[in-house]
Amino acid sequence: MKITIVAGARPNFMKIAPLIHAIERGSSFASSLAGLRRAGKASEDRGRLKYRLVHTGQHYDPKLSATFFDELGIPPPDVNLEAGSGTQAEQTAGIMLGFEKELLAHPSDLVIVVGDVTSTMACSITAKKLNTKVAHIEAGIRSFDLTMPEEINRMVTDSITDLFFTTSHFANENLRKAGVPDEKIFFVGNVMIDTLMANRPRFRKPDLWDSLKLKEKSYIVITLHRPNNVDEPENLRRLLEAIKDSSNGLPVIFPVHPRTRKVINGFSPAVLRFPTHSVVGISSLHSSTCGLAVPASIHLVEPMGYLEFNYLVERAFAVITDSGGITEETTVMGVPCMTLRNSTERPETCTVGTNELLGTDPAAIKPAMARLFAGQWKKGGIPELWDGRAAERITEVLLSLEAETDSN
């Protein structure tokens, strides 16, 4: 079976890494497939699965992409479509044009897309128009919030997908309600957690740990990038002030997303510069061209690689975020997490894990932090099949389907 694996943005890199490793290792997990339909006979000959890795270039920071590929042991992509930045429509069109040329030059039996970024939707549409089957890893997750571009990406992708690899029973049920037959749904677990578990022993202390004299469970990590939270400077200021006022003097580490960086800079990208892996002093933000004053206890730092960032998260007192993937990682690592959104596509992080939805009103932060400091935060658990073996299960399904094709 010839497979094309698509990755376009940093969250994708964490999700494709274990799949590529599973394909390259081959698989001997047939006995673990009792709960999967179509288990069939598993093959130990990995040569039956041939993959080609396509990087769409949606996240266009070559340094950070290279860091993730190197840290996670992902081989260099066979091609980079170099889609780059632009509006949603421009980026979607650029990816589709590039991926069409790629598939015409290198036909595939199956295109595998992951997650919910623009590349996921764009490459799914392109593949189906070329009569190529699509498999979606993380299928069925839903926030039911159509103001989020990712939700549209999920819905469009799942409407034309052939094989649905899911992370939770919530996702399974969402797909069934949409009319997807059970034989196309494969509950395999969470590939993000595969990567987390495989790399947890390799987490690496960032330089700022010593420069800030950080101690375990004595600091807070925040990440913010959603438009509702960061596109309006006044709203971002109120969020940061609420976090500062509620943190009981603990240092707050804030790796700054490019979108958020523009707001802090007053939309002047030249203002805020970070020395590599070091803390930016508050004085460097108070030039006349700077758009937003950040409280001095909040330390702005460059975006980090996977190993350094998760070293910080694992040892944090708490994480405040508007990301989805981080809520999964904090759940498995048992770190209290507050999500500044009104909905989540990963409800299992709330019903089972350590995450709570606070909404986007800064006033919700103070009472939540008070409960945390009072020792009243839930302990949480780990959702079913988040055991580090999702990619192995996916590989077994693909091998089984290939065996069925050969026998017909």
The residue among 386, 256, 257, 389 whose CA lies nearest residue 334 is: 386
The residue among 385, 360, 230 whose CA lies nearest residue 294 is: 230
**Residue 225 is a catalytic residue:** yes
Both tokens assigned to 74:
């992902």
Tens of pLDDT along the chain (408 residues) come to 999 999 988 889 999 999 999 999 874 443 344 445 443 333 344 458 999 999 999 876 666 677 889 999 999 999 999 988 788 999 999 999 999 999 999 999 999 999 999 999 999 999 999 999 999 999 999 999 999 999 999 999 999 999 999 999 999 999 999 999 999 999 999 999 999 999 999 999 999 999 999 999 999 999 999 888 988 888 888 999 999 999 999 999 999 887 788 777 764 444 343 333 334 433 333 323 345 667 778 999 988 999 999 999 999 999 999 999 999 999 999 999 999 999 999 999 999 999 999 999 999 999 999 999 999 999 999 999 999 999 999 999 999 998 887 776
CA gap 28, 25 in Å, rounded: 9
Which residues, 6+ apart, have CB-to-CB distance to 277 below 8 Å? 206, 207, 208, 301, 302, 304, 308
- Which domains does the chain carry? 2-189+389-407 (3.40.50.2000), 207-373 (3.40.50.2000)
What are the DSSP calls for 135-148, one per residue?
Answer: EEETTT-----TTS
| pLDDT at residue 30 in the model | 38
Extended beta strands in 295-379, E state: 298-301, 318-321, 337-339, 355-357
Which residues, 6+ apart, have CB-to-CB distance to 34 below 8 Å? none
CA gap 223, 253 in Å, rounded: 9
The residue among 336, 296, 307, 294 whose CA lies nearest residue 319 is: 336
Element (H, E) at 407: helix 390-407
What are the DSSP calls for 228-244, one per residue?
Answer: HHHSSHHHHHHHHHHHH
| pLDDT at residue 408 in the model | 67
- Read off the amino acid at residue 92: T
Among 169, 225, 257, 277, the one annotated catalytic: 225
217: phi > 0 → left, psi -120 to 50 → alpha, else beta; which?
left
* Beta-bridge partner residues of 80: 55
- Read off the amino acid at residue 98: G
Q: What are the Cα distances from residue 147, in Å, to 133, 228, 341?
A: 29, 10, 12
CB 250 within 8 A of CB 244: no
